[in-house]
Structure 1
Amino acid sequence: MKKNIIANFVGRFWGILSNFLFIPLYIKYLGFESYSVISFTLMIAGIMAVLDGGLTATLSREFARRDNDITEKRNIFKNLETLYFIVIFICILSIFVSSDYVADKWLKINTITPDRISFFLKIISFEIGFQLLLRFYMGGLLGLEKQVEANIVQVGWGIFRNGLVVLAIIYFPTLEMFFAWQAIATIVFTIITKIFLDKIVLGIYTLNFNFKIEKQILSKVWQFASGMLLIALVSAFNTQMDKLAISKLLSIENLGYYTLAVSLCQGLIILVNPIATALLPRFTAFFSTDKHQEARLLFTRMSVLVSILVFSIMMVMSFFAKDLIWVWTGNELLAEKTRHLVPIVAMAYAMFAIQFLPYNIAIANGYTKLNNVLGIISLFATIPGYFFVTKYYGAIGAASVFCGVQIVTTIIYLFFINKKFIKSDIIKDIYWRQFVLPFLIAGIVAYLFSKIPILVDNSRIFSLVWIGIATFATLMISLFVLVPIKDIKQLINLKKK
């Protein structure tokens, strides 16, 4: 498990690094309005992810189960893969057909014609479809605990898709080149990952597609998959509705500012996701063999560490927001226009990250009902809330609705998952140790560091070093206050319980 966590951290660290490296270059060579168009396509990709229908999570879970033999895993894989080809066809077709309407009626763009926007959307329809398929194959690798291999694919894909495209737009600074490059890179890596996964599951390198749908296999997984579909549908509304409202009611530049803040704060998700990804197969194995005490102990220890990590970085992001964006982009105007969004968005994504481990507990037990109930209830607030608040308060209103929903959802979600599966003291062990204490300690330390005058105000390098020192100090102080010395020693020595 240590190897898998380290591999996942490397993969997700690349996600953070690529954001910091490449987004400023996209803005530099294509312009901020073009970056705002890219932001809109990212929102479309987030919405279309609902078409996954829980198939990726189902494949990962079935591969992780200890009570499935290799023959059964092969049958499940071929059936789900067949369904996924239908998914990507629907994805590509729906974006392709609606591109003219979206370009002409939805977006408020001054310098790019609707015909060009429509052409961009037609290109990205293929990129988004194959991106879904790539993540499906990567989900299979993760379920088999081939997480080193999955992260090699992730990093390689990121380098070719998000990194080398910079070389292309330096010489051909157009969105046509940008989107075409990304689409080709995604298609190529999807094929490579398909071949590699076939070798593991089927025992041979192949690109043969054995289309297969068996009623017996589908009846076995449909309940879990349908629950995941509803989760994905609700999640798409709850995580993309803010951007959808901004893109409809405000100028495309406002979407760019908001997406810039989101891109920074999503680092919290990227940091926690490797831990959660590595732990899900372990939780699944524990619960499928009735080792509930081992699962509870693992959850309790890891949740405290996740909370320390999340709240420490969130607080530094909040108190150093303007400096962070300036260091990142080198653009003081962008930093000024975005900084007020960062604390709100960071709090929202911190709450979202805190939900990862209890969510994995639920998935390990095939329990999706709570996610669906909470998600559907939240829609009654978010659907009217985003459009109403955004209309009168702009992007900061959308961010506030998103943050409020995540806070309430997290508190309720922790309560019910603990009651059903973990059975700890909800006030002392969950809310106090994993929520309130890490939040307060990290907030105090980060705030004190933000009040210390920086000796060299106009140096981006010095500012980055100072922010790094503040982050490290916040993490270390929180760790030594909240985690017993024996657990810290065990963590340092990388010992397994």
Structure 2
Amino acid sequence: MKKNIIANFIGRFWSILSNFLFIPLYIHYLGFESYSVISFALMIAGIMAVLDSGLTATLSREFSRKDNNDEDKLKVYKNLETLYFFMIGICILSIFLSSNIIAEKWLNVNSFSPQQISVFLKIISFEIGFQLLFRFYMGGLLGLENQVEANFFQVGWGIFRNGLVLVAIMYIPTLEVFFAWQTISTIVFTFLIKIFLDKIILGKYTIHFNFNIEKKIISKIWKFASGMMLIAIVAAFNTQMDKLAISKLLSLENLGYYTLAVSLSQVLIVLVNPIATALLPRFTAYFSGNKIIEARNLFMKTSLLVSVMIFSIMMVMSFFAKNLIWIWTGNSEIATKTFQLVPIIALAYTMFALQFLPYNIAIANGYTKLNNILGIGSLIVTIPGYFLATKYFGSIGAATIFCFVQVITTFIYIFLINKKFIKSNIIKDIYWKQFILPFICAGIVALLFSKIPLTFDNNRILSLIWIGFVTFATLVITLAILVPVKEIKSIINFRKSKI
């Protein structure tokens, strides 16, 4: 498990690094409004993720179940792959055929004509479709606990898709070239990861597609998959509706600023996700083996460390937001127009990240009902809230609604998951130890560091080094206050335990 967590951290660290390295370069070579179009493409990809229909999560879960033999896994894989190709076709056609309407009726863009926007959308329809398929195959590798190999493909894909595209746009700085390069890279890596996954499942390298639907297999997985599908649909509304409102009511440039703040805040998700991804097969094995105490102990130990880590980083991110964006982009105007969004969005993503481990507890037990109830309930606030808040308060209004919903749903979600599966003292062990204390301790430490006057605040390198030191110091001090040394050692040595 330790190897898998390290591999996942490397994969997610690449995601962080690629954001910090490449986004400023995209802005430099293509211009900020082009980056805003890229932001809109990312939003569409987020909405189209609903077409995954829970199939990736289902594949990962079925592969990690100890009560499934190799033949069962192969049948599930082939049936889900067949369904997935059908979904990919819907994804590509829906974007391709609606591209003209979106370009003419929805977006407010100054630098590009509706015809150009339509061409961009037609290109990215294939990229988004194959990106979903790539993540489906990656979910299979993760379920088999081949997480080192999964992250090898993740990093390789990121290098080719997000890094080497710079070579192309340096010589031909157009969005057509940018999107075409990303599309080709995604298609190539999708076939490569499929070949590798087939080798594990079938015992041989193959590119053969055996389309097959068996009623028995579908009836076995449909309940979990349908629950995950509803989660995906609701999540798409709840995570993309803010951007959708901004793209409709404000200029596309505003979406670019908002996306920058989101990209910075998503560091919190990227840091927690490797831990959650590595632990899901272990949680599934524990619960399927009726080892409830072991599952509870694993959850309590890891969730405390996760809370300390993300609250420490969130607080530093909030108090040093303007400096971070300036260091990142090298543009003080962009930093001035973006930094006020960061504390609000960072808190929202912190609360969202705190749901990851409880969510894995639910998924390990095949329990998706609660996610759907809370998600659908939150739409009562988000659907009118985003559009009204954006109309009257701009991007800040959208960010505030997003943060409010995440805070409320996180407290409710963790309370109910704890009551059903974890059965710890919700006030003392979770709300107090994992929410309130890390928030207060990390906040005080980061605030004190932010009050120290600096003589090198015009130097990006020295400023980055200082913020890095502040982050490390905040994390260490908060850990020392809240987490006993013996607890840290027990988590490190947890990999020695046997399932």
With normalisation by structure 2, the TM-score equals 0.99
Q: How far, CA to CA, are the matches of 2:454 and 2:335 in structure 1? A: 17
Map of 1:24-43 to 2, 5 A cutoff? Answer: 24-43=24-43
For the residue of structure 2 that corresponds to 1:107, the secondary structure is: coil
**C-alpha distance in structure 2 between counterparts of 1:252 and 1:306, whole Å:** 35
Q: Distance in 1 between matches of 2:324 and 2:383?
A: 31
Look up the match of 1:22.
Answer: 22
1:76-475 alignment runs, 5 A limit: 76-475=76-475
Query: Matches of 2:461 and 2:399 in 1, distance apart?
Result: 30
Q: CA deviation at 1:488?
A: 2.6
Distance 1:110 1:130 in 2: 30
Q: Give the Å deviation of 1:487.
A: 1.9
Q: Identity of paired residues, percent?
A: 74
Q: State the AA in 2 paired with 1:237.
A: F
Inter-partner Cα distance in structure 2 for 1:22 and 1:407: 31
Query: Per-residue displacement from partner, 1:232-267 (whole Å, max 9, x unpaired)?
Result: 000000000000000000000000000000000001
1:91-121 deviation per Cα after TM superposition (whole angstroms, max 9, x unaligned): 0000000000000010000110000000000
Letter in 1 for 2:25: L
Moved more, 475-484 or 98-107: 475-484
1:81 and 1:35 mapped to 2: Cα distance? 33
Rounded Cα–Cα distance in structure 1 between residues aligned with 2:467 and 2:489: 27
CA distance in 2, matches of 1:263, 1:73: 36
Alpha-carbon distance between aligned partners in 2 of 1:209 and 1:485, rounded to the nearest angstrom: 52
The equivalent of 1:485 in structure 2 is 485
Shift of 1:445: 0.5
Give the letter for the 2:165 counterpart: V
Pairs aligned (count): 497
SS at match of 2:182: helix
SS in 2 for 1:168: helix
Q: CA deviation at 1:466?
A: 0.6
Hey, what's the Cα distance between the residues in 2 that align with 1:363 and 1:178? 37
Distance 1:132 1:457 in 2: 42
Counterpart of 2:90, as a letter, is I
In the superposition, the TM-score normalised over structure 1's length comes to 0.99
Aligned letter for 1:217?
I
What letter matches 1:258 in structure 2?
Y
SS of the equivalent of 2:204 reads coil
Please tell me whether the aligned partners of residues 11 and 154 of structure 2 are also in contact (alpha carbons under 8 angstroms). yes
Shift in alpha-carbon separation, 1:380–1:495, aligned structure 2, 3 A: closer
- Are the counterparts in 1 of residues 276 and 357 from structure 2 also a CA contact under 8 Å? yes
Q: For 1:359-411, what per-residue CA distance to the aligned partner results, in whole angstroms no more than 9, with x for missing partners? A: 00000000000000000000000000000010000000000000000000000
Write out per-residue CA displacement over residues 142-189 of structure 1, whole angstroms, 9 at most, x where no aligned residue: 000000000000000000000000111000000000000000000000
User: Residues of 2 paired with 1:82 and 1:354: CA distance?
Assistant: 34
Secondary structure of the corresponding residue to residue 71 of structure 1: helix
CA distance in 2, matches of 1:420, 1:58: 22
Partner SS state of residue 56, structure 1:
helix
Partners in 2 of 1:488 and 1:360 — Cα distance?
22
Aligned to 1:232, what secondary structure does the other structure show?
helix
Deviation (angstroms), 1:455 = 2.1
State the Cα deviation string for residues 36-79 of structure 1 (Å, max 9, x = none): 00000000000000000000000000000000000000000000
- Deviations along 1:432-465, one digit per CA (max 9) or x if unpaired, are 0111111110100011111101121210001001
Amino acid in structure 1 at the alignment position of 2:285: A
Structure 1 counterpart SS, 2:496: coil
Q: Which runs of 5+ in 1 are unaligned?
A: none
Given that 2:345 and 2:403 are in contact with CA atoms closer than 8 Å, whether structure 1 keeps it comes out as yes
- Alpha-carbon distance in structure 2 between the residues aligned to 1:453 and 1:311: 23
- 1:409-435 per-residue CA deviation (whole Å, 9 max, x = no partner) reads 000001000000000000000100111
| Alpha-carbon distance change, 71 to 493 in structure 1, aligned in 2, over 3 angstroms | closer
Paired residues of 2:389 and 2:398 also in contact (CA < 8 A) = yes
SS in 2 for 1:173: coil
Q: How far off is 1:495 after superposition?
A: 6.2
Looking at structure 2, the residues matched to 302 and 438 of structure 1 have their Cα atoms a distance apart, in angstroms, of 14
- Match for residue 9 of structure 2? 9
1:496 Cα shift? 3.5
User: How far apart in 1 are the matches of 2:287 and 2:111?
Assistant: 56
- Separation of aligned partners in 2, 1:492 and 1:74: 34
Q: Matches of 2:351 and 2:457 in 1, distance apart?
A: 32
Q: Take 2:206 and 2:74, find their aligned partners in 1: how far apart are those partners?
A: 14
Q: Distance in 2 between matches of 1:286 and 1:104?
A: 53
- Rate the CA distance shift 1:359–1:236 in 2: closer, same or farther, 3 A: same
Deviation of 1:490 after TM superposition, in Å, equals: 4.0
Change (3 A) 1:496 1:436: farther
Alpha-carbon separation, structure 1, partners of 2:491 and 2:146: 23
Given the alignment of the two structures, is residue 496 of structure 1 paired with residue 496 of structure 2, yes or no? yes
The amino acid of 1:371's aligned partner reads N
Q: State the SS of the aligned residue for 1:454.
A: coil
